[in-house]
Amino acid sequence: MITSCPFCFSTQNVSTVFENTYFNGKIFEYRKCLECKLIYVQPFPSHDDYVAMYPTTYQGEINLDTLYRNENSKIIKLINQYSNKKKLLDYGCGNGSFILQAQENKFECTGVEFSNELIISLSKQFNNVNFQNIIEFENKNEKFDIIHISNVLEHLINPFEVIQNLKRRLNDDGIFIISGPIENNLSLALVFRKLFFGVRKYFLNKNNNHAPFHIFYSNSTNQSLFFTKSELSELYFEVKEIAWPFPSNLRDSKGLAKKLMYFIAKLSIFFSLFNKKLGNNFIYVGCKKKS
Ligand SMILES: [Zn+2]
């Protein structure tokens, strides 16, 4: 089956240094779209693959380490900068770490997740939050002032469709705040990763056995164009470098390879301070295009 680019729908693609991965009895290959340069997995995971990829244990416990706290505080500050409303949807709320902080900041929260088990467990942990699984959510028409989507788009085979559907659930003066990886955007760490992947793939003939969690690896241009094509108006766009997928502290960097990765990540973050285009993560704020 031919898979088309999730951003521009072209079917023309070429191989890349990114490793093939064997998962659920299939080979998944990361290829580059010749039209828009987005890197995407071929074939797309099937429903069966999705079920195998996301067991209920996937989301882990609420993580309140400072990394997430700072990240979430920054998002909340941006929301308050572009909106004075309080009705918030966290689409793909995961373990609820963002909702926890949004509640502290007096937002009225709804959280949506794919897994029903997760929704049940979140409902027990939080008071005054409306948690819905994806089917319950899609059967409603309720609208929101703020739609927060973090580390979600890259997991979807139909990101356009999802944004179009969410636009219908956003009030006319509402905002989207969206963040996530741009794994193919230039940074020092990416140069190291590509060298490493290239050596493994072409010289050592190695393959991976991880699930194809990320359907695509974008760069900042891909990501900006995606929002423009979704008929959203950009209010804010930031590119930044974070340690992930390299370790973010020395304490967790066991062994020489991990220590090296830790230092590369540090150096890469340092370099990105001098050029705003360098980085592996983005934060976007946008609103519906006024017609
Ligand atoms: Zn494309």
Q: What is the pLDDT of residues 211-266, one digit of tens each?
A: 999 999 999 999 999 999 999 999 999 999 998 888 888 887 888 988 999 999 99
What's the confidence (pLDDT) of residue 19?
87
- C-alpha 38 – ligand 1 centre gap (Å): 5
CATH number at residue 97: 3.40.50.150
Q: Say how many Å lie between the CA of residue 6 and the centre of ligand 1.
A: 7
Residue 114: give the domain boundaries. Answer: 63-183+218-288
Ligand 1 centroid–CA 29 distance in Å is: 16
Taking the C-alpha atoms of residue 214 and residue 193, their distance in angstroms, rounded to an integer, is 16
Other CB atoms closer than 10 Å to residue 56's CB: what's the count? 11
Query: Looking at residue 64, what is its pLDDT?
Result: 54
116, part of any domain: yes
Tokens of 57: 């244990």
Whether residue 98 lies inside any domain: the answer is yes
Residue 90's nearest CA partner among 71, 77, 103, 104 is 103
Handedness of CA 188, 190, 194, 197 (dihedral sign): positive
d(CA 222, ligand 1 centre) in Å: 8
| Cα separation, 215 vs 157, whole angstroms | 6
Contacts of 133 (CB under 8 A, 6+ apart): 112, 113, 114, 115, 116, 119
Show the low-confidence residues of the chain (pLDDT under 70): 1-2, 56-67
Q: Is position 213 within any domain?
A: no
The verdict on residue 85 lying in a domain is yes
Instruction: State the distance from the centre of ligand 1 to the C-alpha of 230, rounded, in angstroms.
Output: 14
Looking at residue 61, its pLDDT comes to: 58
Per DSSP, the three-state class of 198 is: helix
- Quick one: pLDDT at residue 1? 62
CB 148 within 8 A of CB 89: yes
Question: Does any domain span residue 202?
Answer: no
Domain count for the chain, please give it.
1
Q: How far is the CA of 156 from the centre of ligand 1 (A)?
A: 15
**Model's pTM, two decimal places?**
0.93
Q: Give the pLDDT score at 246.
A: 87
Please tell me the distance between residue 227's alpha carbon and the centre of ligand 1 in angstroms: 14
Structural domain includes residue 6: no
Q: Quote the pLDDT of residue 191.
A: 93
Predicted pLDDT of residue 243 = 87
